[in-house]
Amino acid sequence: MSKRWAICPRTFVVACAVGLAGAAQAQINFTVPADAPDGGLGTVGILRVFPLATPPTIDNQDIARALLGDPTAFRVTATAPQVNHAADGGGTGHFGGDLDNLTGDNKAYLFRGNIAIPAAGQYTFNIASDDGFTLAFNKGTIPFSNLYNQNTGNPGSIQTYNGNANGALTYFGGRGTEDTGATATFPSAGTYHFDLTWHDGCCGDAVELSSAQGSKGGFDSSFTLVGGQAVTKNKQFKTVGPWDTYTFSNVSNMAATIAVYNDNVPFPAFVRSHTTEPTIAFNDPQNPNNGSHGGDARTFPGDTAVDNDNFGAAARATFTVTAADAGKYTIMVYTDDGFRFRMLNGATALTPTAGPNSTVDGTNGLVPSNSPDGCCTDYFGQYDMAAGTYTMEVINNEIGGGAGLFVYGAKGDFNSFDPDIFQLLGANITATINTPAGLQLVAAPEPGTFAVLGIGAIAALARRRRA
């Protein structure tokens, strides 16, 4: 379903602000603005508000609620099929397929909709957000319990909402994309309304609302997007490998690791191990860095029982593309620290198209764009593959601290990680994955109406306003 927009014609200037750490509130009071659209069948209503002229720093939920109620601010209404938004290059949530936010800092949103609860009982709601949010059902009359936080050192909380004890799940200030969740107990099956305020203070921004039946202690594979539809996906990357894998000692950067690997003829004095591996999914158990891929992790070959630093890894595996399988393929590497990935046709490296967080170096290698050594994010690149047999090569270096290396692939053109499509490159998997529908969005008892406008027009207007 496409998003559509309506605009209140006011000007604005967007400035960057630094978020604050979370802070607990004993009492939350919020009046829904009169122009905030409600959701309907299959949709969430969205009010997006930017301050006029030189904006204040929108770095907590108190300021965000005040901005949402400011009739002089620049105000944009919209609809979307889920709460699943990201912009400005920050971390995203769990599900991929992120809808766009308007770019820029210091903004506040109000999401409103109605969910169909199929049976009385407990349901856990997870909000992955950068920055803060507040979620309430039926004006706070549905209580929350069993709070959890991905980052226990910077937690969200459950608070009183419009006089209703435990009526709000909230994270007050600023943070990178992290999970906060809690259990809501619904007394009967039926339709329940939600209000979700969210703000972005600075830099990347993201907000995602998902749910799972029962009381959960953290996000897991049972969660689905609120409003998400049942889908069938296929993992279609064919047989890769096995991987001929080396690890090296006493290499302190990527250049050194590449030098000792020497086009698959390594310098013996540096070789720590030489093994055959089914996939590339490694960490150092004394200091692992897995990103969101910990469930796939194995120990680096040649690991010792200490936190290992200044080591490297290099591996090659073959990959055959039939005429029927020809087309675009996406490679995704998660690494701590640096890496280079190449797709070789004999001695010639194919030129990839760099995706998020990646660039292409002078050897036609896919490498990190954030620094020569890189770290701690998913790196993407695409290859147009004709029929033939190719060699995949990945080289990694660990300088110090956490360590991890994961190589995934998917047939098609992707810019975010979807675990239902990407697979560790190794065994032949052509599996059909059925993802169930989430809690469904239904019509409000008294649905509001509001004008809508195409997304291209609002994006163009936003650009003109900032010029």
- pLDDT tens, 43-67? 999 999 988 866 678 989 999 999 9
Region of 257 on the Ramachandran plot (φ > 0 left; ψ -120 to 50 alpha; else beta): alpha
pLDDT of residue 15: 28
Residue 23: which pLDDT band, with cuts at 50, 70 and 90?
very low
Indicate the burial class of 187 (C-beta count within 10 angstroms; 0-12, 13-18, 19 or more).
Answer: exposed
Backbone angles phi, psi at 339, to 5 degrees: -155, 160
CB 50 within 8 A of CB 14: yes
Task: Return the bridge partners of 207, or none.
Answer: 85, 129
The pLDDT of residue 454 is above 60: no
The 3-state DSSP class for residue 375 equals: coil
Average pLDDT, the chain: 85
The CATH topology of domain 4-230+439-466 is Jelly Rolls (2.60.120)
- Report d(CA 214, CA 167) in Å as an integer: 18
The pLDDT of residue 431 is above 80: no
Q: How far is CA 13 from CA 49, 56, 105, 350, 464, in A?
A: 12, 11, 10, 44, 11
- Please give the DSSP secondary-structure letter assigned to residue 288: B
A 10 A CB-CB count for 428 gives: 12
pLDDT in tens, 219-270: 887 899 999 988 777 777 777 879 999 999 999 999 999 999 998 899 999 9
- Report d(CA 409, CA 424) in Å as an integer: 6
Residue 413: which pLDDT band, with cuts at 50, 70 and 90?
confident
Region of 218 on the Ramachandran plot (φ > 0 left; ψ -120 to 50 alpha; else beta): left
Q: How far is CA 416 from CA 224, 369, 430, 454, in A?
A: 17, 16, 20, 25
pLDDT in tens, 320-329: 998 988 889 9
A 10 A CB-CB count for 80 gives: 22
The pLDDT of residue 2 is above 50: no
- What residue ranges do the domains of the chain occupy? 4-230+439-466, 243-434
pLDDT of residue 8: 34
Check: pTM over 0.85? Answer yes or no. no
Please indicate whether the domains covering 4-230+439-466 and 243-434 agree at the CATH topology level.
Answer: yes
- Report d(CA 101, CA 88) in Å as an integer: 8
**Mean pLDDT throughout 111-137?**
96
CATH architecture label of 243-434: Sandwich (2.60)
pLDDT of residue 430: 63
The pLDDT of residue 308 is above 60: yes
Which residues in 30-140 belong to E strands, given as ranges?
A: 44-50, 74-80, 84-87, 99-100, 107-117, 121-130, 133-137
**Mean pLDDT throughout 126-149?**
96
Amino acid letter, residue 349:
A
Lowest mean pLDDT among 29-38, 90-99, 124-133, 289-298: 90-99
- Residue 144 neighbours by CB under 8 Å, 6+ apart: 158, 166, 167, 168, 169, 182, 183, 184
pLDDT of residue 465: 36
**Mean pLDDT throughout 441-465?**
44
